[in-house]
Amino acid sequence: MATANLRWTFKITSVTVSPLGTTAVSGIAVGPEGQEHKFVATDRMDPRYPTRFKVNWNGLLPRMPKPVGHGVPEATLSVTEGHDPDLLIGRGGRVAIARMCKALVHG
């Protein structure tokens, strides 16, 4: 199990729209030692903030790290380039990815 934090770098590789209407962003998290893991970020997971991107959706426990892909509907995951469920991304990393995605998609 790898845990990504702000010492990691994050790259976006593709942006697609799922059949559910959510924007799915695929990317790669690269660790300090060069290991690469795939991640997925989506918008419209939290109905209160539809333009916010989430790397995973943990509902009432947003600060608790969960494996990448947690809470993302299968219909959305199916249009992505895949994800590594053995990757945990801490809150700082998730915020950094969400900002990159929002800037890319919503300007």
User: What's the chain's Rg over C-alpha atoms?
Assistant: 12
Please name the residues in contact with 31: beta carbons below 8 A apart, sequence gap of 6 or more.
Answer: 2, 4, 7, 8, 37
Residue numbers of the domain that contains 24: 2-106
| pLDDT reported for residue 67 | 83
pTM score of the predicted model: 0.85
Virtual torsion, Cα 77, 78, 84, 86, nearest 10 deg? 70
Domain count, the chain: 1
Which one of 11-20, 48-57, 84-93 scores highest in mean pLDDT? 11-20
Cβ-Cβ contacts under 8 Å for 106 (sequence gap 6 or more): 51
Give residue-wise pLDDT tens across range 54-106. 887 777 777 777 788 888 899 999 999 999 988 888 888 888 899 999 999 98
Establish how many alpha carbons lie within 13 A of residue 99's alpha carbon, considering only the half-sphere containing its beta carbon: 7
**pLDDT score, position 11:** 93
